[in-house]
Structure 1
């Protein structure tokens, strides 16, 4: 498609800028934080995200289906994630006594220790590359806006991240 006067307006749409900045900020932040979790024996931010969500959940456990929703993974994707975390001793599976079809991912003592070890450096990186770059008012407004977007696009993720 050749760039014409009509479609140039389309490409100048401020919505493209806003969502593009969100993608770029997300990717940049993950790249800056990656050394923190990799340097602490976690293969990805997804590992840290799952362990953190389990840490913040009642009983330090989540149904596998809930963990899938909260990490934006398919059921097979969350199974692979939990398999990896289980091999490393960070989580264990626990059958749901009330539903034979369901199981929980449960944070182990080793998983809790790993999160506690990673968290200070992670939060330092979050401060350096995210929260300290904004004024308190900007951070509050951004958090409120992100919560609105998250609740509309991934409502199941709200269970423990707030």
Structure 2
């Protein structure tokens, strides 16, 4: 089949305007805008980024447990060098400290400091407020429950496919 420039233009326009492209774009735009709101509020009110909060969440989940820096990189989907720079900034700010692993001194474990836990508690409240305002409150309770259930299903399928 020979294609013409006009036919290619029309086919490209149909593909670019498909419901799947539109719906996925809406998901990404909404998530990005919400993340920007959270990040802006955290920087303004707590002096940390959303990514720093994500590190503190992981470090504060299990008190007394240090997490390998490599695991943080995997959890946050950051490169090793990006994670190193992030932990360097957090360490300079007094939020975390690195300690050598007792099993393998080449492995850096990361733990929150007292200041890090205090900053985390304030940041968690800011995060909750922004999420409530822009993610929870705009939806009816049933719609919110369906949305979170659907997102959980998508996440499970994606983890199963890659695991």
Aligned residues: 154
Shift of the alpha carbon at 1:116? 0.9
Measure the CA separation in 2 of the matches of 1:93 and 1:123. 28
Larger Rg belongs to: 2
Which position in structure 1 is the counterpart of 2:38?
33
Contact 1:63 1:104 in 2 (8 A): yes
**2:88 matches 1:83:** yes
SS at match of 2:105: coil
Contact 1:95 1:103 in 2 (8 A): yes
SS at match of 1:4: helix
- TM normalised by structure 2 equals 0.82
- TM normalised by structure 1 equals 0.83
Q: Which has the higher contact order (CA 8 A, sep 6+)?
A: 1
1:83-110 Cα offsets, whole Å, 9 max, x none, are: 1100011000111111233221101111
Measure the CA separation in 1 of the matches of 2:68 and 2:55. 12
Shift of the alpha carbon at 1:50? 1.0
**154 and 72 in structure 1: CA distance in 2 versus 1, 3 angstrom threshold:** farther
SS at match of 2:86: helix
- Identify unmatched segments of 5+ residues in structure 2: none
- Identify unmatched segments of 5+ residues in structure 1: 156-162
Task: Give runs of aligned pairs for residues 10-159 of structure 1, distance below 5 A.
Answer: 10-39=15-44, 40-42=46-48, 44-57=49-62, 59-151=64-156, 153=158
**153 and 63 in structure 1: CA distance in 2 versus 1, 3 angstrom threshold:** farther
Structure 1, 73-82 or 10-19: larger mean CA deviation: 10-19
CA RMSD across the alignment: 2.1
